[in-house]
Amino acid sequence: MDDLILIGPELAVLITGLAVLLLDLWAPPSQRKTIGYAAAAVLGVVFLGTFAFLLPEPRMAFGGMLVLDELALFFKRFFLLAAGLVLILAVEFSDRLKAGESEYFALILFALAGMMFAASANDFSILFVALELVTIAFYVLASFQRHRTRSLEAGVKYLILGALASGFLVYGIALVFGLSGTMNFTRLAQAPEAVLSSPLFELGLLLVFVGLGFKIAAVPFHIWAADVYEGAPAPTTAFLAVGSKAAGMVLLLRVLHGAVPALVDRAQPVLMVVAALTILYGVLCAIPQQNLKRLLGYSSIASAGYLLVGVAALNAAGLSAVLYYLAGYLFTVLAAFLVIALAFPNVDSEEIGALAGLHERAPLLAAALALALVSLAGVPPLAGFFGKFLLLKAALAAAGGTPGLYWLLGVAIVGVVISLAYYFGVIRTMYWEPHPPTSPSSPSSPSPPCLAVPTPMRVALWLCIAGMLWLGVMPGSILNLTDLAVQSLAPAVPVP
């Protein structure tokens, strides 16, 4: 019974998902949006419910397969918040799906359950099942607009490359299990040095990291990212950018610091090289982009690189900064995608040029997107600036022991400078380029049509803006949480 209480939030999310599917059978089509809003409200309640967990020390469930500690709780709250906002976005978007709105909401909830299980994973079997629950839900979510070739194509690309990554992951798990004789992270942490230093074990671990690197879109496993981000429906892309990346990140931290703390030093050079390549690839490929969703895809690759800088620093400050950056990233990216869903009512063009004059048609949207891009670029006083600042500061503190980190810092700073160019290009288009005439037949219309912002979207947008500003201006409160979460990652918990 205790075990079931510990996975209470996950169970609540799963039951909500099933309830959404069932309610769809009886509810008239006009009520589908209400179902979506109700599901978002339930997620809000579950989010508040997670604060009822008081954890003086980490608690294990199901024979040590799941762990509930401050890190797990932090990420569960993160995923619930993200999924709630994505659901509001999905309800707004549901007119463009043509069919199966409720299934879309339900799949978001199932993917959310997978992410929440991933946050608690303390065993390779849970890691695998949770990750696949997320990935398979996303295959469907990405290709949900079946009438659009681009959406289908995005889904198929994600499917093939995702399945390839799972193949590597599973083979890696098999090798790790074969050499150590256990799947449990806690027991693995106590494995003898002879096992840890065998090359086959390291190969297995490397293959596991390939699988996780695919989820966070790190070079060289990033090939899917730009295409899928562009082709998938906006709510899917938003959830993919925030949720899926964070799920990969929390599993990376769990495996690296929970399962094989003895090998962390040997992983550092690999992490540094991957981080540098990821940042450079992301920022350089983003420069010529004309499609806003594709631009954000490359920007998310670059963000994966910045997150890996914090991981490669190998100190508590770096990990804390990773969590902080993710929290800021949630509000920033979701704000951007809320605007994308509203500002591009016809789906097949998300060209940046179509944003021209947005500040006249919808001042709130233009302001929110501008804030989001400025935050992504890393300009104070927004969340994105402080996240990057903390990541680089942690890397600098660790650089005394490993001179390679200085190079990584240099690459990261160059990346920030380059990224300023393309983010501000979008802002310039929104504010300083005139709106093109809406239709050639009536070029004399003096003012272009205003874009309506429905109330739930308005609330979600203000929430994102408030989050960005709050995290940026008062980072102390959230940093307490992230420090607590990082402390609980120490693998000092005995296996029952």
Partner 1 sequence: MSVGLTHYLVVSLLLFCLGLFGVLVRRNLLVMFMSLELMLNAANLALVAFARYHHNLSGQIMVFFIITVAAAEVAVGLALIVALYRQRRTAHVEDLASLRL
Question: Could you list the residues that contact partner 1 (CB under 8 A)?
Answer: 124-125, 128-129, 132, 136, 139-140, 143, 146, 149-150, 152-157, 159-160, 163-164, 166-168, 170-171, 173-175, 177-178, 181-183, 226-227, 230-231, 285, 288
Least distance from C-beta 349 to partner 1, angstroms?
13
Closest by Cα among 343, 360, 78 to 234: 343
Total count of residues recorded for the chain? 496
Least distance from C-beta 473 to partner 1, angstroms?
38
Least distance from C-beta 6 to partner 1, angstroms?
21
Dihedral (Cα; 421, 423, 426, 431), 10-degree rounding: -90
Task: Decide whether 139 or 424 has the Cβ nearer to partner 1.
Answer: 139
Contact 375, 384 (CB under 8 A): yes
How many angstroms separate the first and last alpha carbons of the chain? 16
Contact 150, 230 (CB under 8 A): yes
Q: How many CB atoms lie within 10 A of CB 181?
A: 11
SS3 of 66, please?
Answer: strand
Task: Decide whether 352 or 460 has the Cβ nearer to partner 1.
Answer: 352
Least distance from C-beta 93 to partner 1, angstroms?
20
Task: Decide whether 99 or 466 has the Cβ nearer to partner 1.
Answer: 99
Task: Decide whether 107 or 313 has the Cβ nearer to partner 1.
Answer: 107
Task: Decide whether 155 or 475 has the Cβ nearer to partner 1.
Answer: 155
Task: Decide whether 57 or 348 has the Cβ nearer to partner 1.
Answer: 348
Least distance from C-beta 172 to partner 1, angstroms?
8
Closest by Cα among 156, 131, 287 to 210: 131
Least distance from C-beta 174 to partner 1, angstroms?
4
- Give the Cα separation of 268 and 264 in Å (integer): 6
Query: Would you call 130 exposed, middle or buried from its count of C-beta atoms within 10 A (0-12, 13-18, 19+)?
Result: buried
Least distance from C-beta 346 to partner 1, angstroms?
17
User: Residue 485 has which token pair?
Assistant: 């979460």
Task: Decide whether 21 or 469 has the Cβ nearer to partner 1.
Answer: 21
The continuous run of DSSP H or E covering 59 comes out as strand 59-61
User: Residue 72 has which token pair?
Assistant: 């797990």
